[in-house]
Chain A
Amino acid sequence: MKFRILAYLFFFVGTADLFIKIFYGNIFSDLTEDYYEIANPILVFTPVLFFSIGGIFLKESKVSLTLENFGTSRIKYYSPQFICLSVVVLIFLFFTFNAQMNMENRGIDFGFGFLTQEASFDMQFSLMDYDGQDPYWWAYVVALLNTLLVAVLGIIFCTIIGVIVGIARLSPNFLIRNSAAWYVEFFRNIPLLLQIFFWYYAALRALPLPQDASPLFGVTYLTIKGYYMPAFIWNNLNIFLYSILAAIISIIFIRYYANKLRDNEGKQIPVFYISLIILFILPALTFLAGGVSLNFEIPVLKQLSATSFIYDGGIAVPPELIALTLALSLYTATFVAECVRAGIQGISKGQKEAAASLGLTPNQVLKLVIMPQALRIIIPPTTNQYLNLTKNSSLAAAIAYPDLVLVFAGTALMQTGRAIEIVSITMLTYLSISLAIAALMNWYNKLIEIKEK
């Protein structure tokens, strides 16, 4: 009860603090100048602090007296916590105080106003329109998108390679099993940074110059300056996308109906093939009737100067992106492969035999019995690996791929000199990505966990 009252008290103070900050500015600004200067960075976060302390108390109020702390004296219960909190607060205050003093001496002030200033640097590669006149916050967004692009590409490829290698490690074939094992042992035990360097500085440098490149698959060119491939030029792209959306929705309905039919009447309908047909036919119809058409813009060799050539048109994938994606996916795939292997091995043989004795076909055994259980083991550690991949994508800075770390914590930091603000924004960005994925994972784990009575 006491905890609950304390919690509501903290919530109230936090809300009041927030309101005062929004409508009346900082209440402490009337105090002496020195104190305000020192305390300002902390005061920005006080509502958050109040709310989180309130949240902790509210949670504690629900589990206040358990067997664990039964019989512990109050002093033993409260004094270690008090000491712990005071040490944390003291360290925090010490750092803030020093930072304030140092910044004052160097004539820099704390604030996020620089985000709206003109960035005035260029980026080698970006997904969105960006040039030097754009503000820093836009550079941040563009760099973040570049990071996410590498992460998504890496996740896709590492899943494909990892699943194949993981299954190959359980193959009855001696050669396949061992080559998969050696792949894992080889790529797992070499530092990722060295692998990125190897691909970027050694392997990709051995590619031909644009003028000497021979076409790959007819229309794409793999050169030392990057990978050039045709761009799609769509007419009425939105109709096409709507048709895909409609196809997905109808597939969901069909699956729902098929499940119901199976549960109620025991009938099986080939859902997979029906879905596949719908997914092809609906978008194909838009080409015929909806006015959708697709053209290719094929890259063409262009001479810049006597010895310098480049491909014009189409999509150019820079070598940094290729090296990074290759290294990240090959490295992370080894870990994914181990997760997949552990997942499949974790299913007992009895499950398979029981399913077979019920008269299920091998395909049905895999789909209805093995996979749902194996996925339960595979997905949590694999998500962890995806998270690692996303964090490791920050190594992009080492080969000058314009990701969040290089652009924001590198160039922008150099230009503005605002170390604290920029490094904390960068860290908080990665932290929130991690925490968001972790929260999603916890939710998913709760969803698929075996419900026992």
Chain B
Amino acid sequence: MSKFTFLKSDRSNIQLVLITGTFLITISILDVFLNSFFKLNLISFLPSKVSFLTPFIIGMIGLNLIRIEYSGNKFLDVLNKNINTSNFNAALTLLIIFIIFKAIPPSLSWMILDANISGDTKEACTGTGACWTYIKVWFRRFMYGMYPNEQHWRINTAFLLVIGLGTFGLFATEKMKKFLALYYVVIYPIIAFLIIYYLISGGYFGLEWIETGAWGGLSLTFIVSFFCLIFCFPLGMILALGRRSNLPAVRYVSIGYIEFWRGVPLITVLFMSSVMFPMFLPEDFFMDKLVRVIIAITLFEGAYCAEVIRGGLQSLPRGQYDAAKSLGMGYWKMHIFVILPQALKLVIPGICNTFLALVKDTPLIFVVGLAELAGMLALAKTNPKWLGFAMEGYIFAAIIFWIICYAMSKYSYNLEEKYKTDR
């Protein structure tokens, strides 16, 4: 036994073991680091197959050595508890560190060091890395679609106005607060629609008329998801109430509607809106493609919204219903003044998630020929002047969508936490 004491730590040799272990780990990580960042191989004298595994083995021995329980060193204890609880954990830790070190240099050089952003043509991209010039040149197209360049201020103004009107709720006084629901459910959608119609579509007040086919890019994503959200919310509310109604016909119609739309994929709904919907309308009745898409997505998301709101309604204790009824309230009074205010507050995070799913679903409208961000990318990708930059385009779009969706999911998570403490 005494032979192996140098591997077992105790009070007497703890310093030695610690130093040996730390040294071995440092060597192993340094080797991988130098190898991947500076193409230096410290252990090139070993045969290739052995040298491939050496840093891992050295690191494992090192981590094994420093795994000392109650060493007295605070930092070491934290380290052991977090990344070094067992041999299996140690192996995974090393693997992750190595993968990160191996992955950083190529991605860094592709994205920043060897990338180009200057110039206005494809020829400006001389490096081996990404060609951000492509994104720079196409940026306005990705944001605004085929909307004429000199008219972009109209989209910006419209968005600013709509957002500005949406923040009314934050400044409302106590007296105004009871009208907020009315404002957001009825007045706000109408005003927003009028702003977008008159400002972005144009045709009045000396503004040039721009057909919806020219709309596109990220702004179209916002327009579509905004309208779908404000329209699908009331629809979902009605359906949720219908599904919880005790009138069988109303209940079965709601169940049928909800289960139907939840059972079909959105892409077939969009197909329906583009090829089947015109057949269902009178012949002389023309409806714009964008409007049809918004209607289709609203009908689709309304079903999901209904299920979320139903969850909120179901989570209210039965006593709330009984109390309202015992005060002599009828169905509508009970719901408007007692049930819905509480239930809707509960479902705000769920609605946020539905909205998140909606934003993630909007790229699908490209199957019916509306060039939203993904559609614009597909268009730019096949442009003969800019062939071969698919990667840059998709990474750019992914980053934009990721930022939007991540911010929203964090926001919804915060709301969830906030309302959890309320109850």
Inter-chain CA distance A161–B177, complex, in Å, is 48
Shortest C-beta distance, B67 to chain A (Å), equals: 13
> CB distance A398 to B367 under 8 Å?
yes
Q: Report B-chain residues with C-beta under 8 Å of the C-beta of A105.
A: 283
> CB distance A426 to B268 under 8 Å?
yes
List the A residue with the shortest CB-CB distance to B398.
A190
Q: Using CB atoms and an 8 Å cutoff, list the residues of chain A in contact with chain B.
A: 56, 59-60, 66, 68-69, 77, 80-82, 84-85, 88, 94-95, 98-99, 101-103, 105, 171-176, 179, 185-186, 188-195, 197-198, 201-203, 205-206, 391-392, 394-395, 397-398, 405, 409, 413, 419-420, 423-424, 426-427, 430-431, 434-435, 438
Assess whether B89 is interfacial by the CB under 8 Å rule.
yes
Q: How many B residues touch the partner, as a band?
A: 35 or more
> CB distance B264 to A427 under 8 Å?
yes
CB-CB under 8 A for A176 and B364, given A102-B279, A392-B265, A431-B263: no
> CB distance A98 to B268 under 8 Å?
no
> CB distance A205 to B267 under 8 Å?
no
**15 chain-A/chain-B pairs, Cβ below 8 angstroms:** A56-B252, A80-B250, A81-B248, A99-B279, A102-B279, A105-B283, A176-B92, A189-B401, A191-B361, A195-B398, A201-B390, A202-B391, A202-B395, A409-B268, A419-B276
List the A residue with the shortest CB-CB distance to B246.
A68
Inter-chain CA distance A306–B242, complex, in Å, is 67
Inter-chain CA distance A126–B264, complex, in Å, is 23
In the complex, per-residue mask of B268-306: 1 if CB is within 8 Å of any chain A CB, else 0? 110110011011111100000000000000000000000
Q: Using CB atoms and an 8 Å cutoff, list the residues of chain B in contact with chain A.
A: 81-83, 85, 89, 92-93, 96-97, 242, 246-250, 252-253, 259-260, 262-269, 271-272, 275-276, 278-283, 359-364, 366-367, 374, 377-378, 381, 390-391, 394-395, 397-398, 401-402, 405-406, 409
> CB distance B93 to A197 under 8 Å?
no
> CB distance B279 to A420 under 8 Å?
yes
Q: Indicate which residue in A84, A190, A392 contacts B405 across the interface (CB closer than 8 Å).
A: A190
> CB distance B262 to A434 under 8 Å?
yes
> CB distance A194 to B83 under 8 Å?
no
CB-CB under 8 A for A101 and B283, given A197-B377, A394-B267: yes
Q: Report A-chain residues with C-beta under 8 Å of the C-beta of B267.
A: 394-395, 397, 405
> CB distance B93 to A394 under 8 Å?
no
Shortest C-beta distance, A396 to chain B (Å), equals: 9
CB-CB under 8 A for A194 and B363, given A80-B250, A99-B279, A395-B267: yes
> CB distance B374 to A197 under 8 Å?
yes
> CB distance B374 to A191 under 8 Å?
yes
> CB distance B96 to A175 under 8 Å?
yes
> CB distance B402 to A190 under 8 Å?
yes
> CB distance B405 to A189 under 8 Å?
yes
> CB distance B409 to A427 under 8 Å?
no
Inter-chain CA distance A231–B269, complex, in Å, is 39
Q: Report B-chain residues with C-beta under 8 Å of the C-beta of A203.
A: 391
Shortest C-beta distance, A222 to chain B (Å), equals: 18
Q: Report B-chain residues with C-beta under 8 Å of the C-beta of A435.
A: 259, 263
How many cross-chain pairs have Cβ atoms below 8 Å apart between A and B?
Answer: 169
Q: Report A-chain residues with C-beta under 8 Å of the C-beta of B247.
A: 77, 80-81, 84
List the B residue with the shortest CB-CB distance to A192.
B360
> CB distance B374 to A98 under 8 Å?
no
Inter-chain CA distance A405–B264, complex, in Å, is 12
> CB distance B246 to A69 under 8 Å?
yes
Inter-chain CA distance A66–B245, complex, in Å, is 13
> CB distance A191 to B252 under 8 Å?
no
Q: Report B-chain residues with C-beta under 8 Å of the C-beta of A185.
A: 406, 409
CB-CB under 8 A for A174 and B409, given A81-B249, A198-B398, A435-B259: no
Which 6 A-B pairs rank lowest in CB-CB distance, beginning with the nearest? A81-B249, A434-B263, A189-B405, A174-B82, A391-B265, A431-B263
Q: Pick from A68, A202, A395, A423 the residue with the most CB of B within 10 Å.
A: A423
List the A residue with the shortest CB-CB distance to B365.
A193
> CB distance A202 to B394 under 8 Å?
yes
List the B residue with the shortest CB-CB distance to A434.
B263
Q: Report B-chain residues with C-beta under 8 Å of the C-beta of A431.
A: 260, 263-264
> CB distance A423 to B249 under 8 Å?
no
Shortest C-beta distance, A439 to chain B (Å), equals: 11
Inter-chain CA distance A8–B397, complex, in Å, is 59
Inter-chain CA distance A206–B242, complex, in Å, is 52
> CB distance A193 to B364 under 8 Å?
yes
Inter-chain CA distance A423–B276, complex, in Å, is 7
Q: Report A-chain residues with C-beta under 8 Å of the C-beta of B279.
A: 98-99, 102-103, 419-420
List the A residue with the shortest CB-CB distance to B267.
A394
List the A residue with the shortest CB-CB distance to B278.
A102
Inter-chain CA distance A431–B246, complex, in Å, is 26
> CB distance A194 to B401 under 8 Å?
yes
Q: Report B-chain residues with C-beta under 8 Å of the C-beta of A190.
A: 360, 398, 401-402, 405
Q: Report A-chain residues with C-beta under 8 Å of the C-beta of B81.
A: 172
> CB distance B97 to A175 under 8 Å?
yes
List the B residue with the shortest CB-CB distance to A176.
B92
Q: Report A-chain residues with C-beta under 8 Å of the C-beta of B263.
A: 430-431, 434-435, 438
Q: Indicate which residue in B280, B390, B406 contacts A95 across the interface (CB closer than 8 Å).
A: B280
Inter-chain CA distance A409–B405, complex, in Å, is 31
